[in-house]
A and B are shown apart, each in its own frame.
Chain A
Amino acid sequence: MDFELTEFQSDLAAGVRGLCEGRFALDTLRRAEGSDRVVERDGWRQLGGAGVFNLCLGEDTGGLGLGLADAALVFEELGRALVPGPLVASHLAAGLIEGADDGSVVVGLVERPNHGSGATAPRGLAIPVAPVVIEHLADLDVLLAVSDEGVTSIEPSTLDATRMARPMDPLTPLWSVSSLPAGTPVAGTDVSSRWRRDGAVLTAALQIGAAAWTTELAVEYAKQRKQFGRPIGGFQAIKHLCADMVVRTEVARAAVHAAAVTVDQPDVGDALVAAAGAKLLADEAALANGRSCIQVHGGMGFTWEVPAHLAYKRARVLATQFGTDHELAESLAESLAESLAESLVQSLAD
């Protein structure tokens, strides 16, 4: 057992960080704020070239043959850089939708609602209510809808979609539709279940990246901002806010890495349970750290100029994907109830 990153994994993460700092610097990304389209095609292909989408595909199908643990490290870096676009969707679709793997095709994903039934999906995951909100529609070549029945493909241009005014995250444009066409079936329930699980892990990875970044932003500011003749980071009131940001990030990071490794090494635990726990804590870490980062910046934190709000708002968007807090907590409760039932059966058998 060695739960530290291998040298290869550290190098992989460092490589993606380098790419993000060079190609996806925040100042550059911010030029697209408020636009219909935020996915810049050359950049997307560069992400494809770096392996962001084909990382987990087998080498025989043109992928890198790596595991979800490696992908999680890559997505942590993308989350840290606030790279916009349907990153997780395109990663999941690689191998199924031609061109998703190398970044030449941009694929979006939406959870198909359970109309009117109010039914709970397996383990309570993913039950959106109408209207259906779709991210990045204008950028999409392919839109996939995931449901308990599997995955269908919907031609984006056929949707009667309304561009939503003032999307919370200025780099995640949104459209709403009141109904989703059935679309063409492209994959079965094995794929949709796997995507929900892996999607939760990779989205959680984006969240811990952002949680780590807002911590650094807050700490940097706390070191240089002076009040009462001292850097405000010297005051416990501020220092302890920052310390709590570290704690939230590190606890969630351990959970996210463990969930990803559990997907790769199924013998070590229940990957579905680990994924739900990781997503729950990573969402909370990203949201709470975003809030704390704004708080540490004081009034400046409430301005559009300081980028703290971008991370906070992105965290809000990601927290609605692949399971919300209540859904995830319910699914974990269900796993506790199942363990209890198993132990009762066991004790009766003894």
Chain B
Amino acid sequence: MDLRYTQAEQSFRTGLRTWLADILPSLPSKPAPNDWPGRRTYDTHWQRLLFDAGYAGVDWPVEGGGRGSSPVEQLIFKEELERAHAPYVGVNFVGLLHAGPTVIAEGTPEQRRRYLPPILKGDEVWCQGFSEPDAGSDLASLRTRAVRDGDEYVVTGSKIWTSHAEVADYCELLVRTGTEDSRHRGITWLIMPMDSVGVEVRPLTTIAGSAEFAELFLDGVRIPVSNRVGDENDGWRVTMVTLSFERGTAFVGDLLEAIELLSESVALAHRTGAWSDPGVRRQAGHLKAELDALWALTKRNVSQAARTGVPGIGGTVFKLAYTETRQKLGEFSLSLLGRAGLAAHDSEGLDGLGSLPAEAMVEDWLRGISLTIAAGTSQIQRNIVGERILGLPKEPTRGL
């Protein structure tokens, strides 16, 4: 067990840090949270800057046009970006982390040539059409139907939780090509252009008040068969290939952000006088222990990925622990705000206390509620730990 970085890893860090210090002041100001066209422009501009500097697709293999960095370099990359408060991956998320890697692994040479470079350059934005109103945790029960008509599929159905749908160019779409009850054996992975006739996007408003994601309604959408990635009815396997893509680094930015939020909460507690309360101090101390441990676990997962190529089960364990710690941290910061935390509004505190950071903290608390739901609920994650790591008997897939 060695926590020291090698010379090569350190020089990768130094080079990146220098570049970030140089480039970040040149960025335009951030668009408003619900200004999606503005956010697309901002995020894709950042992606272009990364591309020009050779940092696009740090985690993509070289044959896919990426940098092919080691998992440890990916960790350093995400750590440095977060510490420098660089823009998030934003609207490039699905392209860089799901669709692109899938096309790299399973696409034809033609598909790779066509779709990969625009993702890396920030020219094209992707969204994800996997979940459906009736297929959430039980994704394999999805019903959006694709019927073959010559060299096209005709697709009808609906998708949900599609982030960035309004500004996306393409959608990675899972459709039912097998019989109704074929489950994971009858699913196909398609590339759907978002400007196709019959695609309707209906934004959903979250409990945080933002239009984060959308519902997609597909009515007889015609998608060329050449847009199929992998074989017909082999889409489930194609999807699973990329599940292990984020080699233990998926939450690096979030975790560092949480560490910063804890520092801000400690600063707030000092300003309000709450720090003199031993209960408050112990809560803060405990959160520090948890966040430090999660940082150690990240390094363990990344190291495991570096050795074996896959993150192993550590990713599931991490998500279960991190999401709960993050929610506890959210509660902690809100309790420090007291009634000033009842609105996402930076109020002036009494007696020259100065402005209270309620906007960011309330926003964070609200967003935190989604963490134990998104990308596999904590209940599903516990099933995975129970069944795949511990070998406990499986849940029945239908009717008890």
A contact set with B: CB distance below 8 Å:
1-6, 9, 69, 215, 219, 222-223, 230-231, 233-234, 236, 238-240, 242-244, 246-247, 250-252, 254-255, 257-258, 260-262, 265, 267-269, 273-274, 276-278, 280-281, 326, 328-337, 339-340, 343
Interface flag for B9 (CB, 8 Å): yes
Residue from the list A230, A251, A267 in contact with B317, Cβ < 8 A: A251
- Pull 18 A–B residue pairs with CB atoms less than 8 Å apart, ordered by A: A1-B75, A1-B299, A4-B303, A69-B1, A223-B392, A236-B382, A239-B386, A240-B383, A242-B386, A257-B1, A258-B3, A267-B4, A277-B293, A278-B293, A281-B293, A328-B285, A330-B285, A340-B266
Q: Considering only CB atoms, which chain B residue lies closest to A234 in the complex?
A: B393
The answer on a CB contact under 8 Å between B263 and A340 is yes
Q: What CA separation (Å) do A273 and B259 show in the bound complex?
A: 15
Residue from the list A215, A254, A261, A332 in contact with B2, Cβ < 8 A: A261
Q: What CA separation (Å) do A338 and B345 show in the bound complex?
A: 29
Chain B residues within 8 Å of A215, by CB: 390
The answer on a CB contact under 8 Å between A3 and B285 is no
Interface flag for B314 (CB, 8 Å): yes
Min C-beta distance of B163 to chain A, whole Å: 27
Within 8 A of A (CB), among B1-39: 1-6, 9
The answer on a CB contact under 8 Å between B296 and A255 is yes
Chain B residues within 8 Å of A336, by CB: 262-263, 266, 284-285, 288
Chain B residues within 8 Å of A242, by CB: 385-386, 390, 392
Chain A residues within 8 Å of B289, by CB: 255, 276-278, 280-281, 328-329, 332
Interface flag for B204 (CB, 8 Å): no
Chain B residues within 8 Å of A334, by CB: 281, 285
Within 8 A of A (CB), among B311-329: 314, 317, 320-321
Q: Considering only CB atoms, which chain A residue lies closest to B282 in the complex?
A: A329
Residue from the list A2, A6, A246, A251 in contact with B306, Cβ < 8 A: A2
Min C-beta distance of A238 to chain B, whole Å: 8
Chain B residues within 8 Å of A333, by CB: 281-282, 284-285, 288
Q: What CA separation (Å) do A245 and B316 show in the bound complex?
A: 13
Min C-beta distance of A120 to chain B, whole Å: 11
Contact A268/B394 with A242-B386, A340-B267 known, Cβ cut-off 8 Å = no
Contact A3/B386 with A223-B391, A336-B288, A337-B270 known, Cβ cut-off 8 Å = no
Interface flag for B353 (CB, 8 Å): no
Q: Considering only CB atoms, which chain A residue lies closest to B297 in the complex?
A: A254
Chain A residues within 8 Å of B300, by CB: 3-4, 254, 257
Main secondary structure, interface of A, reads helix
The answer on a CB contact under 8 Å between B385 and A246 is yes
Interface flag for B389 (CB, 8 Å): yes
Chain B residues within 8 Å of A269, by CB: 3
The answer on a CB contact under 8 Å between B3 and A252 is no
The answer on a CB contact under 8 Å between A4 and B307 is yes
Residue from the list A251, A258, A261 in contact with B290, Cβ < 8 A: A251
B contact set with A: CB distance below 8 Å:
1-6, 9, 72, 75, 262-263, 266-267, 270, 275, 278, 281-286, 288-290, 292-297, 299-300, 302-304, 306-307, 314, 317, 320-321, 379, 381-383, 385-387, 389-395
Chain B residues within 8 Å of A281, by CB: 289-290, 293
Chain A residues within 8 Å of B295, by CB: 258
The answer on a CB contact under 8 Å between A258 and B386 is no
Residue from the list A3, A236, A238, A340 in contact with B1, Cβ < 8 A: A3
The answer on a CB contact under 8 Å between B390 and A234 is no
Q: What CA separation (Å) do A286 and B381 show in the bound complex?
A: 22
Contact A219/B282 with A5-B1, A251-B317, A258-B296 known, Cβ cut-off 8 Å = no
List 20 additional A-B contacts (Cβ < 8 Å) besides A239-B392, A261-B2, A277-B289. Answer: A1-B4, A1-B75, A2-B72, A3-B302, A4-B1, A219-B391, A223-B392, A233-B390, A239-B383, A243-B381, A254-B299, A258-B293, A258-B299, A277-B293, A278-B293, A281-B290, A329-B281, A333-B285, A336-B284, A337-B266
Q: Return the 10 tightest CB-CB contacts between A and B, nearest first.
A: A332-B285, A234-B393, A277-B289, A258-B296, A239-B386, A329-B285, A255-B293, A333-B281, A333-B285, A243-B385
